[in-house]
Amino acid sequence: MTTLTAPIIQPARAPGADPRLEPIRAKVLAGKRLSLDDGAVLYATHDIWGVIALADTVRRRMHGDAAYYNINKHLNYSNVCALSCKFCEFYRKKGDDGAYTRDLDYIRAEAVKAVDLGATEMHIVGGLHPYLPFEYYTDMLRAIREAAPGLHIKAFTAVELVHLARIAKVYKRGDPQSGVRWVLERLMEAGLGSLPGGGAEVFDDRIQKEAWKTKIGADEWLDVHLVAHELGLNSNCTMLYGHIDGRRERLNHLEILRRSQDKALARLGYTGDPDGFIAAGIPQTEAITDPVITLSGEGAVLPTPQGLERGASSPPIGRSPMPSDASTAKDQDGGLEAPRSRTEKKTKGGYYQTIIPLPFFPDGSELEHLPGPTGLENLRTIAVARLMLDNFPHVKAFWIMQTLPMAQLMLEAGADDIDGTVVWYDITKVGGSSTHQEKSVTDLKRAIREAGFEPVERDTLYRRVVREGKNWKTTTS
């Protein structure tokens, strides 16, 4: 006979402040970069509310009481995928029940619907379709641009872009960058405006081997974003956590992204290392004590509408989105004057805007037996991301995966963005149910206001949107 014993649950929080947070608090207040060991304390401490309060300090220093949302529409052009990642419930094989691939008429109609809803952005991702030709992707972007010229197209994860280089037969082993550059140049010419952050998962060889063996790894993911940044595109990045990963691996992931962003910002004029190359090898154990770049705190590098300047002491709290986003975005969209660095070099877009921690949804995946992360772990992870990624302007609590009530709480735990109206989402479905996942602007604003923040509609590049019904413009356009 087996005896059932209750599992020993380690409380995620306990009364009382943790003195181990004190030196970390001192660093945060001084705008100093946190080390991986600091990150380990942020994850290990029982004082989760202390961690959240620290993240809130940074978040308010950067954004005041502003909380961003956008009006967007997601499009998944196909769920047919050559890969079979264990965490993924979305993919189908050709001929499977429920497999779909959208044609250009469908895509055009979706773009028109997006405009009718007042959307500023179309977010497009799909599976790695083994048979679609490269022209399908450029035709898709052109069709959207023709049907909806004002819509910003944020499309294709790094994994899809490597796949496109392969199907266009421009991918060279040993030199993934040149093929991806070829692909991105053509997609940009067809209307691509920025890259979403998907497909990063957790940068770790062990986890990759176990859960997404045949997918690109960290080096290639980073290479793709490096090339995008060099071409002047802004991008986002994600961290898919709460499956077979551990907290140390998450911290390494954040560290790798932080260094990658250092390099991106350096290319825009922050340091004298324009050829810095992150993907060649990241010494994961090396502690960083001297911040190269920090966007918050004493001595921070604070982007201004005039450019990127070092030495300001307090940001324009709560009045506008990170102005660097606005100023570099102008260059991306309209070729207007680019920001000037402190060395007065002409620069353009080309950095990570947002980290989006994505909690694992087990339902329907091969890892369905795993429980997925808890609410407190999700809150803590948002806070840790805010604290570790001192060179990232934004932290997004994607309401679809976090749920809107949790996204509300996360605004006080380091997040400044909850994503948008979305409408249709196929990658994760709450309770395994519907792809229709939509929130109205009223819902989003109410959630933000109830949490004590000021809702700010942004476009994809974090410019403030001024709107009259369906018509909109950005404050900088």
| Binding residues vs ligand V47 (CB under 6 A) | 87-89, 157, 196-199, 201, 236, 238, 240, 356, 358, 360-361, 365, 398, 401, 419, 427-428
DSSP state of 117: T
The nearest distance, CB 277 to ligand V47, in angstroms, is: 23
The nearest distance, CB 232 to ligand V47, in angstroms, is: 18
Give 32 or 152: the residue with its C-beta nearer to ligand V47. Answer: 152
The nearest distance, CB 427 to ligand V47, in angstroms, is: 5
Give 31 or 362: the residue with its C-beta nearer to ligand V47. Answer: 362
User: 131 exposed, middle or buried (CB, 10 Å; 0-12, 13-18, 19+)?
Assistant: exposed
The nearest distance, CB 233 to ligand V47, in angstroms, is: 12
For residue 471, report the phi and psi dihedrals to the nearest 5 degrees.
-85, 135
The nearest distance, CB 428 to ligand V47, in angstroms, is: 5
Give 138 or 365: the residue with its C-beta nearer to ligand V47. Answer: 365
**C-beta nearest to ligand V47: residue:** 198
The nearest distance, CB 338 to ligand V47, in angstroms, is: 23
User: 344 exposed, middle or buried (CB, 10 Å; 0-12, 13-18, 19+)?
Assistant: exposed
* Pick from 3, 52, 57: nearest CA to 30: 57
The residue to which tokens 């060395």 are assigned = 343
Quote the tokens at residue 159: 């994994």
At position 358, the amino acid (one-letter code) is L
At position 80, the amino acid (one-letter code) is V
112 with 148: CB under 8 angstroms? Answer: yes
41 with 60: CB under 8 angstroms? Answer: no
Give 62 or 401: the residue with its C-beta nearer to ligand V47. Answer: 401
DSSP class per residue in 442-474 = HHHHHHHHHTT-EEEEB-TT-PBEEEETTEEEE
| CA–CA gap between residue 9 and residue 402 (Å, rounded) | 23
* Pick from 135, 161, 353: nearest CA to 257: 353
**Do you know the residue count of the chain?**
477
55 with 392: CB under 8 angstroms? Answer: no
Q: How far apart are the first and last CA of the chain?
A: 72
Give 45 or 328: the residue with its C-beta nearer to ligand V47. Answer: 328
Give 89 or 204: the residue with its C-beta nearer to ligand V47. Answer: 89
* Pick from 448, 440, 472: nearest CA to 459: 472
Give 241 or 270: the residue with its C-beta nearer to ligand V47. Answer: 241
Give 198 or 414: the residue with its C-beta nearer to ligand V47. Answer: 198
Give 160 or 333: the residue with its C-beta nearer to ligand V47. Answer: 160
Give 66 or 300: the residue with its C-beta nearer to ligand V47. Answer: 66
| CA–CA gap between residue 165 and residue 181 (Å, rounded) | 9
The nearest distance, CB 37 to ligand V47, in angstroms, is: 27
| CA–CA gap between residue 280 and residue 42 (Å, rounded) | 29
The nearest distance, CB 117 to ligand V47, in angstroms, is: 18
Residue 342: alpha-carbon gap to chain centroid? 27
The nearest distance, CB 195 to ligand V47, in angstroms, is: 8
| CA–CA gap between residue 99 and residue 151 (Å, rounded) | 27
- Three-state DSSP state, 213: coil
The nearest distance, CB 340 to ligand V47, in angstroms, is: 28
The nearest distance, CB 86 to ligand V47, in angstroms, is: 9
322 with 394: CB under 8 angstroms? Answer: yes
Give 57 or 157: the residue with its C-beta nearer to ligand V47. Answer: 157
